[in-house]
Structure 1
Amino acid sequence: MSTQASGTYQVTGWEEEPYDARDDVIKLTRARITNSFSGDIEGEGSADCLMAYPSETYASFVGLQRVVGSVGGRSGSFILQTSGVFENGVAKADWFVVPDSGTGDLKGLSGKGGYVSTDQTTCDVKLEYDLG
């Protein structure tokens, strides 16, 4: 039976650089992002994301994030694979736990969820999970 986790994460670091910057095509960037999770998920996240900016108000992104901390009171780490968009100032993403990525008490963790930004540095997060 799945458990629903919710909480927030606060962006604590953001380093973004173009990796294909041409004047006549869509801008492509790579970002290294750090986060601090609170709520049912507690801990620190470290993500690398690839982003495409077809306009000034829209971006599409994919990424991988390692979370080190606890879920539902059980400690360890796991990887989230993320896919989302940034549109008109709001980031929305879906994510899932990469299979077999859980360590420690989170070994066997599976799940999916996502987040929505509430401002430029804070996101409301959800994760529906099972601990095999």
Structure 2
Amino acid sequence: MAQVKGEFEVKRTPEGSCDLGDGVAAGHFRFDKRFSGALDATGVVHMMAVGTEVEGSAAYVALERISGTLDGRTGAFFTQHNGTMDRGAPTLSLTVVPDSGTGELTGLRGRMAIDIVDGKHYYTLDYTLGEG
């Protein structure tokens, strides 16, 4: 398994909320990302998020398309985000969607971690690249 790390910039744009019934709505946001480092790419994310009545408990799901180069290989791929805050304790699963890689990224599989330190966003992508 290969690993790459780098930084990314992100811009958030509110979209129309999503009706979940009974007057409850999920927030809907678009994020435009610019990755630098071994992943030299742009990303477009659509995220839906909900909060609860308990302080610090919430969740979000998102789909992202990342397009550019990874370790010099050109293509695009999708990721799936699943984030939870349990009374302030965060967890995030961010997975490359199987068989979503295109071009020289066909066969890409992996997981990504995101860290935010002093307002800067960092990624760590663990991946394999092959036909199966």
* Shared fold (TM-score, shorter chain, > 0.5): yes
Contact 1:90–1:117 (Cα < 8 Å) also in 2: no
The match for 2:30 among 14, 29, 32 is 32
Question: CA RMSD of the aligned region, Å?
Answer: 2.8
**2:6 equivalent in structure 1:** 7
Q: Mapping of 1:1-132 within 5 angstroms?
A: 2-20=1-19, 28-54=26-52, 57-85=56-84, 93-118=92-117, 122-132=120-130
Structure-1-length-normalised TM-score: 0.81
Partner letter of residue 41 of structure 1? L
Counterpart-to-counterpart distance in 1, 2:9 and 2:88? 16
Per-residue displacement from partner, 1:91-111 (whole Å, max 9, x unpaired)? 763211101100111011111
Change over 3 Å in CA distance of 1:100–1:23 after alignment to 2: closer
* Identity percentage of aligned residues: 33
TM-score normalised to the size of structure 2? 0.81
Contact 2:43–2:64 (Cα < 8 Å) also in 1: yes
Looking at structure 2, the residues matched to 7 and 76 of structure 1 have their Cα atoms a distance apart, in angstroms, of 18
SS of residue in 2 equivalent to 1:105: helix
Paired with 1:123 and 1:91, the residues of 2 have a C-alpha distance of 16
| Worse-matched range after superposition: 107-116 or 6-15 | 6-15
CA distance in 1, matches of 2:121, 2:86: 14
- Unpaired segments ≥5 residues, structure 2: none
Distance 2:121 2:84 in 1: 13
| 1:10–1:123 Cα contact (<8 Å) kept | yes
For 1:22 and 1:81, the matched residues in 2 are separated by 24
Q: Gaps (5+ residues) in structure 1?
A: none
Question: How many pairs does the alignment contain?
Answer: 129
Separation in structure 1 between the aligned mates of residue 68 and residue 2 of structure 2, nearest angstrom: 17
1:35 maps to amino acid: K
**Do the aligned residues in 1 keep the contact of 2:2 with 2:128 (CA within 8 Å)?**
yes
Structure 1 residues 24 and 118: alpha-carbon distance in aligned structure 2, compared to 1, 3 A threshold: farther
